[in-house]
Copies of this chain bind each other. A is one copy, B any other.
Amino acid sequence: MTKKHRNGEVSELEREMSGGTGEVGGVILGIDGGTTSTVCVCFPFLQPQSLHLPDPLPLLARVEAGCSNHNSVGETAARETLEQVIAEALSKSGSDRSAVRAICLSVSGVNHPTDQQRILNWFRDIFPSHVKLYVRNDAAAALASGTMGRLSGCVLIAGTGCIAYGFTDDGREARAAGAGPILGDWGSGYGISAQALTAIIRAHDGRGPQTKLTNSILQTLGLSSPDELIGWTYADQSWARIAALVPAVVSCAEAGDEIANKILQDSVKELALSVTAVVQRLGLCGSDRKGSFPLIMVGGVLEGNKGWGIAREVINCISKDYPGVVPIWPKVEPAIGAALLAWNFLKDSQQE
């Protein structure tokens, strides 16, 4: 018997509080906090009748806001964004704070226990102690979106930023990359685009060969000369704005441009290396490297699969060392992965 049923009166109160959810169990929230946007989803907490999840999942609300990576926007803005999506998701669900049973905050920029603790502290002030709070790197939600809530295997995220994150069944985890553009995430959308912009500057000033990237990207940005790229770049250094140039790089590579092709090949090597570093450290494939593991593929850079397929090349590259790699493109979004994690964590804590 779960805690909430130990006292019939509390259960009655909760039934009232859950209001519009139509569920006696309150709600759970899953948050995918990224560098580009933050998504929060709200589900009823269904008592686990079996190990299987209902299909389709009974989504109560989904809301979206801006960046919640404290490294990009600062702590105050990150906190406000997270509080805002929670408040809006509860309001849209016809619910309120008192109905919350568990929240999984899977947030980009959580790189160290102090990052985790800071976010926990923010929400410990808001939610009473019986509300389960889980703070993870956004990689956890992305992985769970492909494994339907099981924290096992490896996830490769390559959107504006990139990171490889692996989890073992016995609770170990490891990551590679995900340190942002200054610290060399060259496989990311930002990294690809920054290399392309650099190639244009180098062609212009005589340090590098001419490339189709020049016309393609100047046209995309409405600029008339490579000199103007410097002003454009530093006028607003948001990572997402720069990363948005990836499709132009892919188009140039598909049109046979060698410089664009080399940039994408380098990106593939970087992304594959991130995954193999994690797999090796965790021993995910056993000592013979032949074991099988799921690799969840997430993010804009890994989505296109016509023409120059970055994701396909990454898988080819990884499978040379680890033939048991099983790529999975998630069917649900990372925020739902976060909610599934919250659901599983809460279920496990009740069974303890």
Pick out which of these stretches binds chain B: A97-105, A227-235, A289-297, A334-342: A227-235
Look across to chain B and name the residue whose beta carbon is closest to the beta carbon of A231. Answer: B112
Q: Are B233 and A183 neighbours in the complex by a CB distance under 8 Å?
A: yes
A169-212 vs B: 1/0 string, CB under 8 Å?
Answer: 00000111101111110000000001101100110011100000
Q: Are A180 and B234 neighbours in the complex by a CB distance under 8 Å?
A: yes
Q: What's the number of copies of this chain in the assembled complex?
A: 2
Measured CB to CB, the closest approach of chain B to A245, in angstroms, equals 12
Residues of chain B within 8 A (CB-CB) of A175 are: 205
Residues of chain B within 8 A (CB-CB) of A2 are: none
Q: Does A124 contact B (CB under 8 A)?
A: no
Q: Does A111 contact B (CB under 8 A)?
A: yes
Residues of chain B within 8 A (CB-CB) of A227 are: 111-112
Complex alpha-carbon distance, A274 and B198, angstroms:
13
Q: Are B277 and A230 neighbours in the complex by a CB distance under 8 Å?
A: no
Given A230-B183, A234-B71, A177:B207 Cβ within 8 A = yes
Complex alpha-carbon distance, A202 and B237, angstroms:
24
Residues of chain B within 8 A (CB-CB) of A229 are: 179, 183
Q: Does A278 contact B (CB under 8 A)?
A: yes
Q: Does A107 contact B (CB under 8 A)?
A: no
Interface of A is mostly: helix
Residues of chain B within 8 A (CB-CB) of A156 are: none
Q: Are A179 and B201 neighbours in the complex by a CB distance under 8 Å?
A: yes
Q: Are A273 and B230 neighbours in the complex by a CB distance under 8 Å?
A: no
Residues of chain B within 8 A (CB-CB) of A228 are: 112
Measured CB to CB, the closest approach of chain B to A55, in angstroms, equals 36
Residues of chain B within 8 A (CB-CB) of A182 are: 181, 194, 197, 233-234, 237, 242
Residues of chain B within 8 A (CB-CB) of A202 are: 184
Residues of chain B within 8 A (CB-CB) of A225 are: 112
Measured CB to CB, the closest approach of chain B to A116, in angstroms, equals 12
Complex alpha-carbon distance, A207 and B274, angstroms:
7
- The listed residue (B114, B195, B206) touching A278 by CB distance below 8 A is B206
Complex alpha-carbon distance, A112 and B235, angstroms:
14
Q: Does A258 contact B (CB under 8 A)?
A: no
Residues of chain B within 8 A (CB-CB) of A280 are: 206
Q: Does A266 contact B (CB under 8 A)?
A: no
Look across to chain B and name the residue whose beta carbon is closest to the beta carbon of A190. Answer: B182
Complex alpha-carbon distance, A155 and B195, angstroms:
26
Residues of chain B within 8 A (CB-CB) of A112 are: 225, 227-228, 230-231
Q: Does A115 contact B (CB under 8 A)?
A: yes
Q: Does A281 contact B (CB under 8 A)?
A: yes
Q: Are B207 and A273 neighbours in the complex by a CB distance under 8 Å?
A: yes
Residues of chain B within 8 A (CB-CB) of A233 are: 179-180, 182-183
Measured CB to CB, the closest approach of chain B to A111, in angstroms, equals 5
**Residues of A participating in the B interface, judged by any CB pair closer than 8 Å:** 71-72, 111-112, 114-115, 174-177, 179-184, 194-195, 197-198, 201-202, 205-207, 225, 227-231, 233-234, 237, 242, 273-274, 277-278, 280-281
